[in-house]
Amino acid sequence: MLESGCKAVKEGVLEKRSDGLLQLWKKKRCILTEEGLLLIPPKQQSPPPQQQQQPPSLPAEPAAKIKELHFSNMKTVDCVERKGKYVYFTVVMAEGKEIDFRSSSTWRSPTARASAAPPAPPSTG
């Protein structure tokens, strides 16, 4: 997605629940773009950028392990809930596959935090 010139909107770490018997949470470096979400295994982390203004870069390793979740293939995002320090959500793909994620509050955008803030009390005066 980034190779096609898509803008990276957000970058951070999400945890994805594995499909295996134990369903362990595995950390993934994620890049949210205008077209979808890139999931990069932690072993493929790129070196830290030298300047803060640089756009996120993809790792130099083969792209075979990088998973792309395009918005056009997503049906919905379900089960958004907060428990302790994590926010849990499920991405339902068009073919019915469900992918569970959790994130700390650091992944959320400032817009999401503002919309989740309680309304200010009415002023009495």
Count Cα atoms within 13 angstroms, Cβ side, for 86. 13
Tens of pLDDT, residue by residue, the chain (125 residues): 555 567 888 888 999 999 888 999 999 999 999 999 999 987 755 544 444 444 555 555 555 588 999 999 999 988 788 888 899 999 999 999 999 999 986 554 543 443 344 455 555 65
pTM of the model: 0.65
Domain presence at residue 23: yes
CATH number at residue 30: 2.30.29.30
CA atoms of 84 and 82, how far apart (whole Å): 6
| Residue 74 belongs to domain spanning | 2-45+62-109
- CA torsion 98-26-58-34 (nearest 10°) is 30
Q: Is residue 54 part of a domain?
A: no
Domain contains 117 = no
On whether residue 53 sits in a domain, the answer given is no
Instruction: Count the domains in the chain.
Output: 1
Q: Is the Cβ–Cβ distance between 68 and 38 less than 8 Å?
A: yes
Cβ burial, residue 32 (10 Å; 0-12/13-18/19+): buried
Structural domain includes residue 12: yes
Instruction: Please report whether residue 98 resides in a domain.
Output: yes
